[in-house]
């Protein structure tokens, strides 16, 4: 009996998780407007055709907007119909963006042209907020795209150095901390973890961070040399060497700086 209860609890938990995932990824629907005007219905169908996968473009959006304006000016459609069509165009495009971005980031790989396509769409639609108002589908799509760029940033390790006194130690954090932060990011489990390339990068964070740290100290050591060559201040060079030995994890760069200090004018 106890075992059956545990199974029942597990089933309920799975159902709850499934509902939560669905709720997070849901697309807010919009009612399809009805028009008595033949012209308005024709424009509506153009909007529906535009907002199909692989069909949307900023040029197509702008072209339909222009037609709505001209048909309104020429009294082919009523002002109320024109306003309704503009909102239908905007809202349908936001749904297109939400569905497209959600589908893209649940794939095993992200084609560069697809990323560019949806970024262009989102940028275009965000400009329309001042005219048409906020849209939850646009917000969700924008948040997902933003999370993707945050993920890319977290998987990038800077290795550039700059000369300062005292010399600054590499500050990239810990590999475990970086990995935990990434895995706790919004959309990582539901979307980005399905990408094999991203999973691979997360798994090799330790090696990539170590490589970046070594390149940082290699660069910093060269900056110390260049500073001495430009100033000729031996006392600063000796102080820099002491500091470099304290902070550097690159043994090869330590040896190189030591050799330079022993023969600074060669």
Average pLDDT estimate for 7-23: 38
Asked if pLDDT for residue 240 goes beyond 70, the answer is yes
Confidence label for 27 from pLDDT (cuts 50, 70 and 90): low
Asked if 186 and 243 touch (Cβ cutoff 8 Å), the reply is no
Instruction: Give me the pLDDT at residue 221, please.
Output: 97
Instruction: Give me the pLDDT at residue 10, please.
Output: 38
Instruction: Give me the pLDDT at residue 4, please.
Output: 47
Rounded CA gap, 126 and 27, in Å? 17
Confidence label for 156 from pLDDT (cuts 50, 70 and 90): very high
Mean per-residue pLDDT of the chain: 90
The string over 86-108, giving b where at least 16 C-beta atoms fall within 10 Å of a residue's C-beta and e elsewhere, is bbbbbbbbbbbbbbbbbebbeee
Average pLDDT estimate for 189-214: 96
């Amino acid at each position: 009996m106890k075992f059956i209860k545990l199974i029942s609890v597990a089933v309920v938990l799975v159902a709850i998780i499934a509902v939560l995932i669905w709720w997070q990824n849901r697309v807010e629907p919009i009612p399809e407007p009805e028009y008595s005007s033949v012209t308005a219905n024709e424009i509506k169908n153009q909007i529906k055709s535009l907002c199909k996968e692989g069909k949307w473009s900023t040029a197509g959006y702008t072209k339909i907007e222009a037609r709505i304006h001209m048909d309104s000016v020429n009294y082919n459609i009523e002002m109320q119909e024109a306003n309704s069509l503009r909102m239908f165009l905007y809202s349908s495009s936001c749904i297109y963006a939400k569905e497209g971005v959600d589908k893209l980031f649940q794939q095993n790989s992200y084609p560069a042209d697809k990323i560019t396509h949806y970024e262009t769409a989102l940028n275009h639609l965000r400009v329309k907020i001042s005219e048409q108002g906020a849209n939850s589908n646009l917000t969700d799509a924008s948040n997902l795209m933003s999370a993707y760029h945050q993920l890319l940033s977290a998987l990038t390790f800077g290795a550039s150095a700059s000369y300062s006194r005292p010399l600054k130690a590499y500050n990239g954090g810990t590999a475990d901390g970086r990995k935990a932060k990434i895995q706790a990011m919004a959309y990582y489990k539901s979307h980005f973890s399905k990408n094999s390339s991203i999973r691979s990068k997360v798994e090799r964070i330790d090696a990539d961070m170590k490589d970046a740290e070594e390149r940082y100290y290699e660069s910093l050591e060269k900056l110390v040399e260049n500073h001495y060559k430009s100033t000729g201040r031996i006392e600063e060079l000796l102080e820099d060497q002491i500091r470099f030995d304290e902070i550097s994890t690159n043994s090869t760069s330590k040896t190189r700086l030591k050799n330079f200090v022993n023969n600074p004018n060669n």
